[in-house]
Amino acid sequence: MTRLTQIPGLPPLVAAAGLLAAWELAARVFDISGLPPAHAALRELPVILTDKESLLNILDSIRRMVVGFAFALVFAIPVGLMMGRSRLTAAFFNPLLMIIYPVPKAALMPIIMLWLGVGDASKTLVIFLGVSLPVIYHAYQGARAVEEKMLWSAAAMGMDARARLTRIVFPAALPEIMVGVRTGLVLALITMVTSEMIARKQGVGDILFNALAMAQYETVYATIVIIGLLGFVIDVGFERLRAHLVAWAEPAHEIAAVGST
């Protein structure tokens, strides 16, 4: 049994097969219209993925997610690092983060829609907010954990504050930053779907909401499967990147439950 669990990719496949079996069984036992059997939902996957309009909607969602995620990293990593090394910066940002962090980002969507409309800008901003907070937090924690002796030695060698931040603090904090980035990826996917369900115009969330409104439950569940597969592929790809970038560090922490979405 131990040898089997060591086969790459086998545990996720076994878990997925178990989930599909439980889903199929539950659908047959309860026999309700809102819970179609797994085979009926899976049959809709090629229909969705070969439909040009649906495929364009999925690609639009991925594009928004990538843009919001990229902007969040560019903003959040430097802010978190500076907060970890500067009391003044931390004193400025900490109250803002304490106010914004507990607020579900989807709850901000109606307000943002009033400012920016229902187009890409509003959805991208919600993704940006959802990703930024965990990345800032983990970059902050990583920067605080850097040994002072390293920074003192660098300063004694004539290295200025900016160089110390980029050449010492950032590499040392990178394993912790990657934990925040992984959490941010999960939140990017969640906020992407929820924002598209609220501001219905394009995207995976729009497909999901339209199918639900028309009682096309097989399409609803098939869309959820697509979202799940997208999240799985993104997570696996990120783990490979993380292993390459911080191979010298200990294994990444497990994702903690985040209740800010």
Residue 109 lies in a domain: yes
16 falls within a domain? no
Distance of alpha carbon 240 from alpha carbon 235, whole angstroms = 9
CB 192 within 8 A of CB 205: yes
Domain for residue 227, yes or no? yes
The rounded Cα 214 to chain-centroid distance in angstroms is 29
Q: What phi-psi label fits residue 215: left (phi over 0), alpha (psi between -120 and 50 degrees) or beta?
A: left
Q: Side chain identity at 91, as an amino acid letter?
A: A
**Nearest Cα to 101, choosing from 65, 74, 135, 143?**
135
pLDDT in tens, the chain (261 residues): 455 445 555 677 788 888 888 888 988 888 888 888 888 889 999 999 898 888 999 999 999 999 999 999 999 999 999 998 888 988 998 888 888 878 877 778 888 888 887 778 888 999 999 999 999 999 999 998 888 777 777 777 777 778 778 888 888 889 999 999 999 999 999 999 888 888 777 788 888 888 888 888 899 999 999 999 999 899 889 988 888 888 776 554 444 444 444
Nearest-5° Cα angle at 95, 89 to 99: 140
pTM surpassing 0.85? no
How many domains is the chain built from? 1
In a domain, 15, yes or no: no
Q: Contact at 8 Å (CB) between 130 and 183?
A: no
User: 210 is in which domain, residue-wise?
Assistant: 35-245
With contact defined as beta carbons under 8 Å apart, do 225 and 42 qualify?
Answer: yes
Of the candidates 87, 245, 236, the one whose C-alpha atom is nearest the C-alpha of residue 177 is 245
Q: What is the pLDDT of residues 133-188, one digit of tens each?
A: 999 999 999 998 888 777 777 777 777 778 778 888 888 889 999 999 999 999 99
Mean pLDDT of the chain: 84
Residue 28 lies in a domain: no
Within-domain flag for 30: no
d(C-alpha 106, C-alpha 189), whole Å: 12
Is the CB of residue 127 less than 8 Å from the CB of residue 191?
yes
Concatenating the DSSP letter of every residue in 142-197 gives HHHTS-HHHHHHHHHTT--HHHHIIIIIHHHHHHHHHHHHHHHHHHHHHHHHHHHH
Determine the pLDDT at residue 260.
44
75: part of which helix (H) or strand (E)?
helix 52-85
CB burial of residue 176 (10 Å; 0-12, 13-18, 19+): buried
Give the contacts of 209 (CB within 8 A, at least 6 positions apart): 196, 197, 200
CATH number at residue 221: 1.10.3720.10
Q: pLDDT value at position 209? A: 85
In a domain, 254, yes or no: no
Please say whether the beta carbons of 140 and 78 come within 8 A.
no
* Residue 207 belongs to a domain: yes
